[in-house]
Structure 1
Amino acid sequence: MQTGLNGRVAIITGATANIGRAIALSLAAEGAIVVAVGRDEEAGARLTALCRERGATEARFVAADLTDPASPARILEAASALGGVAVLVNNVGGNVGAGFFAESDPTTWAGDLDLNLGTVLRMTHAVLPGMIAAKAGAIVNIGSTAGLVGDYMLPVYSAAKAAVHGFTKVLAKEVGQHGIRVNCVAPYGTVSRDPEAFSSGSRFNRDNGFFAKAFAGSSPEDAAKRARQTVVGRPVATPEEVASLAVYLASDLAGFITGQVYPVDGGSLL
């Protein structure tokens, strides 16, 4: 299929692990100019080398923390040196903590909100002027099924992802007149089988022990409430299954699709 992505500059945030890494590699296979953003420079170097092997016209890594308000301008400067930004994939996100809202510490709420929503707002705000001037562009936000139904013991994360979904829809209404499309992919559980897919900052990196710490002390009954059954015979997606939809939405093949939120959930919402 002719995706039209060959030679186009694509920024992917949170690109060194799991879903973001798979999206970067999939865009590379379409011949895109990949600008991968993350915090782990060693993982970034490995990723960009692999992107070139997969067929990227060019691949660059920008070491940046998206919770730093100064990062988007620096990322945009690096990307613009390669050409006008045609694609933005807002993939950064995650859980700062977990637990029941009634027992939560209000000082932690801002972390979840900024990591999942603030980063999307700032990065999008940075690239829009260029896309508007070019009268073209595709933005793909990575949301979550948590934003559709709420994940048990992840109240602020779920609220932030719901906000990403809402932002996707209203922004699509605003920028469609400029030839820009905005869509969202909402995965359920997604875990890579590739040991290279877990950079140092990834919550799936076993050395971080994020999930064990986040849900320490919760009961088996709570764990059961957090789980959702799929209908496809396995509990989680692969990053590549999520990436395939993100790349499609970024491509010319999806030229008449905008303002949509697409679950990739194995039927868990049925």
Structure 2
Amino acid sequence: MSVISNGPGRSIIVTGAGSGIGRATVLLFAEEGARLVIADVDEAAARAVAEEAEQAGGTVVSVIGDLRDQTVVDRVASTAVEEFGGIDVLVNNAGVMDSMSAAADTGDDEWERVIGINLTAPFRLTRAVLPHMLAAGKGAIVFTASEASLRGSAAGAAYTASKHGIAGLTKSLAVMYRDKGIRSNAVAPGGTVTNIRVDADRGAHGPAALAPYMGNIGSPAQAKEQAAAIVFLSSDAASNINGAILPVDNGWSAV
């Protein structure tokens, strides 16, 4: 069991659940006996995580698809309601990295892909979940933001803009719904051991400009350390924490 408990039987959605921080989050919730809808674009990865989570004590339903597709978003929300009777927690974790490109070198395809997955998709899923949380008079939403939500020296233009957007969305939700029993917070991971890809041309302007700042990362976190912060923010132990962007970065944001 984790130190911070959400209590057994909560209905929880986790996106990007097939690997990295998402997988670690699913497994921590499963140890508490949570009922989970896990969403991922990779069917094999989702299936593997679902098996692990069920062995750990959770109940799991998977939804496979690209969250840039509104029909997939709707299916994630409706599955949680139909299977588990409601939605207690939404973890908007799915995301992709950019190629560390500077603005002048960021093409439309890269921009639209990163913004679509990192910002538009979590907004749409949040919008789909909110009516159910409002009807219940309670709910917790946790986003995976980034060190790039806090500064301009941690990623390229598209990723930085997307994660600053997540920080703004987190705070807007906190203000708009704090009197409705709904909390919204985010973790801001620093360097973390995951399989997220950074396909950067080291000779390009963006990576070269960012290189001097990368030495401040410090020792990278394990995915489970990020998951522990997500589970905490979703729990009743964080009942008066709302609108927070919590750095989980080994002090990078303090440098």
TM score, norm. by length of structure 2: 0.91
Give ranges in structure 1 of 5+ residues lacking alignment: 193-197, 205-210
How far apart are 1:221 and its partner, in Å?
Answer: 4.9
Aligned to 2:20: 18
Q: Is 2:88–2:140's contact at 8 Å kept on the other side of the alignment?
A: yes
* Counterparts in 2 of 1:187 and 1:153: CA distance versus 1, 3 Å: closer
Aligned to 1:181: 183
Looking at structure 2, the residues matched to 104 and 41 of structure 1 have their Cα atoms a distance apart, in angstroms, of 30
Q: Is 1:185–1:263's contact at 8 Å kept on the other side of the alignment?
A: yes
User: What letter matches 1:150 in structure 2?
Assistant: G
Looking at structure 1, the residues matched to 44 and 22 of structure 2 have their Cα atoms a distance apart, in angstroms, of 16
Give the secondary structure class of the aligned counterpart of 1:149. coil
Aligned to 1:207: none
Q: RMSD across aligned C-alpha pairs, in angstroms?
A: 1.9
Aligned to 2:122: 120
Q: Is 1:152–1:225's contact at 8 Å kept on the other side of the alignment?
A: no
How far apart are 1:216 and its partner, in Å?
Answer: 4.8
Looking at structure 1, the residues matched to 211 and 4 of structure 2 have their Cα atoms a distance apart, in angstroms, of 44
Give ranges in structure 2 of 5+ residues lacking alignment: none
TM score, norm. by length of structure 1: 0.86
Looking at structure 2, the residues matched to 150 and 223 of structure 1 have their Cα atoms a distance apart, in angstroms, of 9
Q: Residues 1-270 of structure 1 correspond to what in structure 2 (within 5 A)?
A: 1=3, 3-56=5-58, 58-80=59-81, 81-151=83-153, 154-192=156-194, 198=195, 203-204=196-197, 211=198, 213-218=199-204, 221-222=208-209, 224-230=211-217, 234=219, 236-270=220-254
Give the secondary structure class of the aligned counterpart of 1:214. coil
Give the secondary structure class of the aligned counterpart of 1:130. helix
How far apart are 1:103 and its partner, in Å?
Answer: 2.4
- Structure with the higher fraction of residues in helix conformation: 2
* Counterparts in 2 of 1:239 and 1:189: CA distance versus 1, 3 Å: same
What is the total number of aligned residue pairs between the two structures?
250
Looking at structure 2, the residues matched to 64 and 221 of structure 1 have their Cα atoms a distance apart, in angstroms, of 35
Q: Is 1:153–1:226's contact at 8 Å kept on the other side of the alignment?
A: no
Kindly report structure 1 stretches of 4+ aligned residues shifted beyond 3 Å: 216-223
